[in-house]
Structure 1
């Protein structure tokens, strides 16, 4: 169901969000990051495919291009490498690390500022 939801582009956002919620057991940051990354990859691939198809053979090319974009989106979710992870999973890991880093920096700044008022 996960690949089908991700392949639907923007129409699959509800499925994507529910899947991320179940995968990350309600960890809000990971659910939001996961849903955003999945949405960008799936909708982006579908939109780019449709745009390229439209440039060559409108309107049939639009539909075919969108279909190809959906297949590309599914391909982005295929696992590979060592350890086996998809490009989408690797992107989620990267973004979550950056969000954690920014969050820690903001907490340090907030602590410093609040110490001025004690």
Structure 2
């Protein structure tokens, strides 16, 4: 089964998400991607990725992703947050991180951990191909 990865980014981190996704483009093309509305739109428009776009964060997209996670339909979450200047309209990361912890789903909240998570998923996918 293809890895199912949720991608969310606060406004000031959306460019970082695009850069990250571009670095792992070949791998991400083989994954099932779920994203909040604006982030997903940018991933689709700028990189050509197929993304199951949920509502934008202010309209509950993070909650929709949280529901999918609780129901076992998400394998990993990358939520690039802006810890210094979060905006009131942006999704709150706390509930989603709590759900990840409760359901033992990997969650990256910055570029460094996102790289580690994607590298691991990519290696695991290659290992499955070889067996």
Q: Do both proteins adopt the same fold according to a TM-score greater than 0.5, normalized to the shorter chain?
A: no
Which structure has the higher relative contact order (CA within 8 Å, separation 6+)? 2
TM-score normalised per structure 1? 0.33
Larger Rg: 1
TM-score normalised per structure 2? 0.31
More strand by share: 2
